[in-house]
Structure 1
Amino acid sequence: MYQKSLHSAHAATTRLRESVRTKRTELQWFRQNVKLISVLRGQMEYLEEFALLEHNYSCSLSGAIEALQASTLRLPVVGGARADTQNVKEAIYSAVDVMHAMGSSIRSLLTKVGEMNSLVAELGSMSAKELSSLDECRDLLKMLTTTQVKECSLRTHIAQLGGLCAGVTTAM
C-alpha cells in the first residue's frame, strides 16, 4: 500500500517536473520573441524616418537638377554668340553652390544610411541566431517528448512486471 502511494507520489512529482520544465521552455521562447519584437519595433522607426529623408533628398535633388539645367540652357553656345561674363560667372557660382549643398546633403544621408545598414545587419544576425535557437528548442522538445513517452512506457512495463511478481508470490 505504501509502495503504491509512494509510486503515485513519484509519478505526480515527475509529471510536475516535466510540466515546470515545459513551462520554463515556453517562457524562454516567449521572452526571446518579445526581445525580437522590441528590436524590430525600434528598427521600424528608423525605416520610417529614412523614407522621409529619402523623399526630402529626392525633392532636393530634383530642384538641383532643374536649377542646373536652367543655368546651362541659358548659356548661348552656338553661332558666335556672346554672353555677359558677369551673368555666366553668377550662373556658374550658383551651380557650384547648389552642388556644395547637394554634397553636404548627400554626406549627411550617407552617414545615416551607414548607421542604418549596420543596424539592419545586426538585426539580421540576431534574427538568424533566434531562428537557430528556436530550431534547437524545437528539436529538444521533440527529444523530450520522445524520452517522456519511453519513460512512461518503461514505468508501465515495470508496474506490470511488479504486478506479475506480486501475483506469483501470492500464488506460492
Structure 2
Amino acid sequence: MRSNYLLILISIAMAILISGCSCQPEIVNNDSNDTSGNQTPFPGVNNEEFITGVAPVNDVQVLILESFPVQVNVEAMGYLPDGCTTIGNTTIRKDSNTFYVEISTIRPRDAFCTQALVPFTKSVSLDVYGLEKGIYNVDVNGKTASFELSVDNILPDNS
C-alpha cells in the first residue's frame, strides 16, 4: 500500500515537471544603440505567433564604474507577468541630457503559462564617452533616475 502512494506521488511530480512551460522562444538579444528609429522591435519574429510589449520596470539604478573614461551601467528591475514572457530587445536613444532605454518583452501568443510574476534584472551599458560634465537623466520604460559626470568624459590628448 505504501509503495502505491510513493508511485502515485512520483507520477504526479513527473507530470508537474513535464507540464511546465517549455514554450519560451529562443531570442537573440540585439541590444542596439541605433537612434534612427528604423529598426523593428523583433526582427524575424512573426507577430501572429508572438505578443510583444514593454517590460514593466519597478526600479532603476545607475552604476558609475570607477574608471576613466567613466563607464555607466543602468540596472532595471521589475516583474514579468507570466512564466512564458521573456525579455526581448533593448533599444537606447539619447536626446539632449536624457537617455531613453526601452526594454521589450516577447511571449508566444497561444501558450499556456504559469500565471506567477517572474522577477527580472536587465543591465544596460550607456555610451557616455565624450559627454561633457553635467547631470544626465535616464528613462527606462517610464522609470527615471539620474547621474552626474563631474568632469568631461574624454581622454586628454597627450600630443
Q: Given the two structures, how large is their TM-score scaled by the length of structure 1? A: 0.26
**Structure ranking higher in helix proportion:** 1
**Structure ranking higher in strand proportion:** 2
Larger Rg belongs to: 1
Q: Given the two structures, how large is their TM-score scaled by the length of structure 2? A: 0.27
